Amino acid sequence: MRLATWNVNSVTARLPRLLDWLENTKPDVVALQEIKTTTAAFPADAVAALGYETAAHGDGRWNGVALLSRVGLENVTRGLVDQPGFPGPEPRAVGATCGGVRIWSVYVPNGREPDNPHYAYKLEWLAALRTTVQAELGSGPFVVTGDFNVAPTDDDVFDPAAFVGATHVTPAEREALASLRAIGLVDVFPRPLKYDYPFTYWDYRAGAFPNNKGMRIDLFYADAALAATVSDAYVDRNARKGKGPSDHAPVVVDTAD
């Protein structure tokens, strides 16, 4: 099975790119984030023409998530257990069972700055994610993937000194991720298609992409049994190239089963 995650930074703006990528990469299941459209307005017909069912969860603002599957899509869940809000619950998580794998697409809040109320919200949201995952883990193959807006280690940013005092790298955020992994998840580490480290996000400004000033914040966490079947994992850096790309690249994971 081929699984993937991609923060598309507006499915409407990126639809031609998404459709082309789906045709060429042929993933079985794709987790999308930052779709920036409503559930009803998601271009489900366009992806259906390529054989994909859709479970979208969006309100038309800056967030929103979706799952696309061509191996079945059942038991759809929108939102987390005891999900906090800012001020109300946002559409940042959708789960479904696809081809026997329970998979969640998540778009973790950014956090803005460590002294901003959005940062506390981010930590509360990650705690709710852990609660949700813990309730489902152990019942079969499981994946939670998406834009976590946290770089797990200093190796996951191009220059740790550039992030001092910023979100995405604080001890509390990294501890929240470690707590999530500790309940039985494995960080499936992708290989880069260029350079020596698999960054997944590059800012649009200041030549960050051509100079590889990136971060690894799009993560793929799987239960140990599924992780053991992974035959390849890579960051599709080519999808970040060209005119009008997302600022994130897809992460693609192949399993032997």
Domains for the chain: give ranges and CATH numbers: 2-255 (3.60.10.10)
pTM over 0.85: yes
Radius of gyration for the alpha carbons in the chain, expressed in angstroms and rounded:
17
Closest by Cα among 31, 21, 83 to 56: 31
CA distances from 232 to 53, 131, 225, 254 (A): 25, 29, 15, 5
pLDDT of residue 238: 94
Whole-number pLDDT of residue 196: 83
Cα 121 from chain centroid (whole Å): 18
Please write down the long-range contacts of 19-27, taking CB distance under 8 Å and 24 or more positions apart.
Answer: 19/46, 19/47, 19/50, 21/236, 21/239, 21/250, 22/47, 22/50, 22/52, 22/68, 23/50, 25/236, 25/250, 25/252, 26/2, 27/2, 27/3, 27/68, 27/252
pLDDT at 67: 98
Alpha-carbon span 217 to 21, nearest angstrom = 21
Tell me the per-residue pLDDT of 59-78, one tens digit each, with 9 for 90 and over: 998 899 999 999 999 999 99
pLDDT value of residue 193: 78
Q: Which two tokens stand for residue 206?
A: 């200041």
pLDDT of residue 204: 94
The pLDDT of residue 133 is 98
CB-neighbour burial class of residue 44 (10 A; exposed 0-12, middle 13-18, buried 19+): middle
Q: What is the pLDDT of residue 195?
A: 81
Residue segments in the chain with a per-residue pLDDT below the cut of 50: none
